[in-house]
Amino acid sequence: MTDDVFHLTPLDVRRYEFPAALRGYDRARVDAFRNQVADEMDRLTRQIQDLENKAKGFHEQLRAFRERDKALNDALISAQQLRTDIKEQAEKESDLIIRQAQADADRIIDVARSEARRITADLESLERSRNAYLLQLRSLTERQLAEIQAAHELSFLPKAAPQEVRSPTNNSDPAAQHAPANATPIWLKSLVQE
């Protein structure tokens, strides 16, 4: 008989009454055996119940482990995705920073070149102004020297008498006080030679 058809409990075994028959079995021994069978069935039923409880616990643990495993796998996938996203974001940010730095560097170089061109133009302008000033000063000095020489030639003073020629920068120079009248002061010669 299978378990699906025949269900027997320890109580069924204890209550079962065997009919009396002529030349039947020893009643006391049958009752003792029946009690033994019932006790064994009790023990087996408790053991089955314990095993079923343990199996249920193991199934619960297995379900919990599977849920944890699924959660860990999901977390791992999320972490990998997050790592990929962070890496892509970091690459984009680094590219942006490099582009901004390059643009800033180009702008600074352009400003520096523009400033260098302006300074060069200013220097060239100053050099032209200096040269024009020196030319004007030379021209003026040469005119004044010519006028001094012309005035000296037209002078009514005898040529033998020395005249004082004083430097505008140093009136107390003894060499300049005793210089001949037709002598050109050194400071004037240096201006003319430029």
pTM score above 0.75: no
**SS3 state of residue 111:** helix
Q: Flag whether pLDDT at 6 surpasses 70.
A: no
CA separation for the pair 183, 164 (Å, rounded) = 10
Residue bearing tokens 């180009």: 106
Nearest Cα to 12, choosing from 29, 37, 30? Answer: 37
- Give the total number of structural domains in the chain: 1
**What pLDDT is attached to residue 82?**
93
Residue 156, in any domain of the structure: no
Domain of residue 40 covers 10-140+181-193
Residue 146, in any domain of the structure: no
**SS3 state of residue 166:** coil
Angle at 161 between CA 155 and CA 165, to 5 degrees: 70
Q: What is the pLDDT of residues 154-178, one digit of tens each?
A: 875 555 545 554 444 444 444 444 4
Residue 124, in any domain of the structure: yes
Q: Residues of the chain with pLDDT > 90: what percent?
A: 52
Q: What is the pLDDT of residues 39-93, one digit of tens each?
A: 888 888 899 999 999 999 999 999 999 999 999 999 999 999 999 999 999 999 9
